[in-house]
Amino acid sequence: MFNLDNSASVEDFTKWWLKHKVIRPPFVDGIFYTDIAASVILFREGPFQVELYISKPDSVAPYHSHTKVDSVLMYLTGNMIFGKDNVEVDYPELQKPHETIKGAHFLFGKCDYLEDGKLHNLTTKAEGGCFFSFEKWHDREPNSVTVNWEGPLTGELHKNVINESTP
């Protein structure tokens, strides 16, 4: 079923998963919670995985990075401000319905690429937010970018999840 080898890029994996939409949550390390979000691993095989993130309203994930992981973030819904390269992008005029997909958010399906170790952040507004994180891990088996986190944490729950995570 999965026909990408480990040399495939995270972009290749993203295209493959969006075409096949394989949902196969792992038995171990399948759900993660922090003070501001929950994630569910929808698919994991080899160095690749898909996480679905649901972020609480009015929350901030401070600037941080995920070493040895390349990611493609795909907007699903909500009101979120992504930041990278010390620039936060907020387009309130884009908080509107999609022009061609009935009932969807205007930004639905828009992607951003985060290469290994790239600093980024996320701020949600009153609606909260939801996005996919397509990942390629380079030096170990995937668990969650919530755990593979470098930078200020989102709170005590986040700290506990990192400390208790399967290595």
**DSSP string covering 130-165, please?**
EEEEEEEESSS----TTTS-BS--SSHHHHHHHHHS
Examine residue 102 and state whether it is found in any structural domain, yes or no: yes
157 in any annotated domain: yes
**What is residue 166's predicted lDDT score, i.e. its pLDDT?**
62
- Domain annotation covers residue 36: yes
Is position 75 within any domain?
A: yes
**Per-residue pLDDT, 150:** 95
pTM: 0.91
**For residue 144, how many C-alpha atoms fall within 13 Å in the half-sphere facing its CB?**
27
- The residue segments making up the domain with residue 56 are 10-164
Q: Specify if 48 maps to a domain.
A: yes
Report the domain count for the chain: 1
- CA dist., res. 68 & res. 7, Å (int): 14
Residues 41, 33 contacting (CB under 8 angstroms): no
For position 79, which CATH number holds?
2.60.120.10
pLDDT of residue 34: 96
Token look-up 């995920």 returns 66
Residue 156: predicted pLDDT: 97
Mean pLDDT by 10 residues, the chain (167 residues): 81 94 94 97 96 97 95 92 79 79 82 88 94 95 95 96 83
The whole-number pLDDT of residue 167 equals: 59
